[in-house]
Homo-oligomer: A and B are copies of this chain.
Amino acid sequence: MNAFELYNPTKLVFGADKVSRLGELVEPYGKRVLLVYGGGSIKKSGLYDDVISQLNEIKAIVHELSGIEPNPRLTTVNKGIEICRAEKIEFVLAVGGGSVLDAAKAIAAGALYDGDVWDFTIRQAVIQEALPIGTVLTLAATGSEMNGNAVISNWETKEKRGLGSKHVYPQFSILDPKLTYSVPRNQTVNGIVDIMSHVFEQYFSLTTDIPLQERFAESILLTVIENGEKALEDGTDYDARANLLLAGTYALNGTLPNGVTTDWATHGIEHEVSAIYDIAHGAGLAIIFPNWMKYVYKERVGKFARYAERVWGIDPAGKSEDELAIAGIEATRAYFTRIGAPATLGELDIDGQHLDRMADEATRFGPIGTFKQLNKDDVVNILTASL
């Protein structure tokens, strides 16, 4: 096990109808609130009205930034920053899925920074402070509700990059499984893939002697696999939605990387694909991850064999370690296909014309990944296998 630090001050408020506590949770932070949300779904569901009525009750002065994109854009973030500065916003409230939460984090950090918020993503500046943030989550996927990370896209330059800081952990996040009842099937699918991918990035590691972290990771995967299918069968299955929501949070709240050298190459590659094609992150991951697995598994076959056995219940009898590993990778692909995720870039009308550019961008700071360090050629190979 490596040395590590663990710090996560977000207060999670989890359960049916917990959104009723919103007003009370916002109140200590001040009256001037920026409400950040996406498309119209929270208006259709009635959540918007509920939020506004609670904010009115605490006599908040509410400004709004709507229309956050699925891959939230720098231009939109900058609009939010302008509002924060002009209106002396004291608290940023994100109501939506991971993209809305990520945009809110970038806005909260950018509002108190005397420069371009993009600086944080290209390592030209470090976040020193941020406005306090609260969230109401409507989708099990990114884990953004309980961590200090965000990903935003610069649409002009076709770049998608991350920022992170202890200052952008949400002060609180309200997770009501019932709010995810209305999530459309394809978004539930993308969320399942996204959660599993977060676990993969931390589970497929060369670090040894980490039994607790490995078992925790397997616990999350098994929970997602089982409850993901249940939620797809019946979107209003409370326990399935709740288990998926909780698993999504734990996949990326700092529980899994303790003392573990994590990978994150596949996320790096996917970001370059969706920076150019604006596809859903989960869809991109469903396509690329099995190909990454096949490309790298020989670096530590035993880990993939264990994955096959413990996560997919594949009987090792009569199989070589290599065969077992491959069977686990195939089972991953089969599950993604079974729930309706795409298996090739071609299905999303993406051809090979930008592979070189994507591989260049993915490796712009040097080789990526740790399970196997990938250089530009490796990334091209994985993307080619994904076409």
Determine the residue in chain B with the shortest Cβ distance to A9.
B9
Q: A211 to chain B: closest CB distance in Å?
A: 5
Taken residue by residue from 331 to 365, chain A's Cβ proximity to chain B (1 for < 8 Å, 0 otherwise) reads as: 00000000000000000000000000000000000
A215 touches B219 (CB 8 A): yes
Task: Give A8-30 interface residues, CB cut-off 8 Å to B.
Answer: 8-16, 18
Q: With A and B bound together, what is the CA distance between A127 and B9 in angstroms?
A: 20
Given contacts A8-B8, A246-B259, 13 further A-B contacts (CB under 8 A): A1-B242, A1-B243, A2-B15, A3-B15, A5-B12, A6-B14, A7-B12, A9-B9, A14-B259, A209-B239, A211-B222, A211-B223, A212-B219
Q: Is A247 an interface residue (CB 8 A)?
A: yes
Residues of A within 8 A of B (CB): 1-16, 18, 209-212, 215-216, 218-220, 222-223, 226-227, 239, 242-243, 246-247, 250, 255, 258-259
Q: A133 to chain B: closest CB distance in Å?
A: 15
| B209, B222, B246: the one within 8 Å of A258 (CB) | B246
Determine the residue in chain B with the shortest Cβ distance to A221.
B215
Q: With A and B bound together, what is the CA distance between A222 and B227 in angstroms?
A: 24
Q: With A and B bound together, what is the CA distance between A9 and B2 in angstroms?
A: 22
Determine the residue in chain B with the shortest Cβ distance to A217.
B219
Q: With A and B bound together, what is the CA distance between A210 and B3 in angstroms?
A: 31
Q: With A and B bound together, what is the CA distance between A243 and B212 in angstroms?
A: 7
Q: With A and B bound together, what is the CA distance between A6 and B245 in angstroms?
A: 14
Residues from chain B with Cβ under 8 Å of A6 in the complex: 11-12, 14
| B18, B219, B226, B255: the one within 8 Å of A3 (CB) | B18
B219 touches A223 (CB 8 A): no
B212 touches A220 (CB 8 A): yes
Known contacts A222-B211, A246-B259; A1/B239 CB under 8 A = yes
- Looking at A6, A7, A216, A227, the one whose CB has the most chain B CB atoms below 10 A away is A6
Determine the residue in chain B with the shortest Cβ distance to A239.
B209
A5 touches B11 (CB 8 A): yes
Q: With A and B bound together, what is the CA distance between A220 and B214 in angstroms?
A: 11
Residues from chain B with Cβ under 8 Å of A16 in the complex: 3
Determine the residue in chain B with the shortest Cβ distance to A16.
B3
Residues from chain B with Cβ under 8 Å of A219 in the complex: 212, 215-216, 218-219
